[in-house]
Structures are given as C-alpha cells and as structure tokens.
Amino acid sequence: MLDGDALVKLYDDTIATPLDRQVRVRTVTRRRRPSNAWYDEECRSAKSSERSLERAACRAAPLSESDATLPEVIAWRTERWRYFDLVRQKRPDYFMMRVDSERLRPRGLWQSLLVSSASRTRLGSCYH
C-alpha cells in the first residue's frame, strides 16, 4: 500500500513529468487596468449575472452541442443580449453627459476626451 507521498511521486513520474515535456509551462502576466468611467456597478452586476447563467447553461449541456430550447440556455442568451444592450447604451450616454456638462468649456471637453481616448487606446479594448 502506498502512502500519500508515494502516490504524489508516482503521479509526478507517470503523468506530470512527461506532460511537462510535451506542453511547456509558460508564465503569463496580466496587468489590471482601470475600468472605463461609463462601466458602472450596473454593468458589473449585469455581467456577473450573465456569467452565472452561462455557467448554469454549460452545466445543463455543453454550449457547442446545446439544445437552444433548454431553459438554462434560453435564460443565458436572453441575459447576454440584455448585457450587450446595456453596454451599448451606457457608453454613448456617458459621453453625451460629458459633452453636456462641459458644453461651456470646449477646451476642457476636448482635453478630457483626448485623455479618455488615449488611455483606452493604450489600454486596449473598451469592453470588459
């Protein structure tokens, strides 16, 4: 009978070591970036809800083979469209509010929009 340490060594010798030779380990660095100003708590909550329903749909059936009539899949797809619609609405609403609030200060408006667009370009995609 093998003890715990012997089982771990056996596992390493038979599976992990040959697998490490086949598939090389690579360290990936992910940098956190600040959320866009328009991406608020409502967007985070909608995304969390959508991800939760996605996991439930995956548990019901693999999404690549899922039956579109399963209630879990229908609920996930509906929530996903709600999330996308919310994001599509929030972004222009935020910038319209910015334009309205800075209407009397055109220079300040352009400076804030340039800073906003420069950080988005530097940091990547605007969707989370």
Kindly give the residue spans of alpha helices, DSSP state H, lying in 1-70. Answer: 4-11, 17-22, 41-60
Distance of alpha carbon 56 from the chain centroid: 17
Which residue would you say has higher pLDDT here, 43 or 100? 43
Where exactly are the structural domains of the chain? 41-123
What pTM did the predictor assign?
Answer: 0.60
| 3 to 7, 11, 15, 16, 17: CA distances (angstroms) | 6, 12, 18, 19, 20
64-78: per-residue pLDDT in tens? 666 778 899 899 999
Q: What percent of the chain has pLDDT over 90?
A: 28
At 34 the pLDDT is 80
Main-chain dihedrals φ then ψ at residue 60, nearest 5 degrees: -70, -40
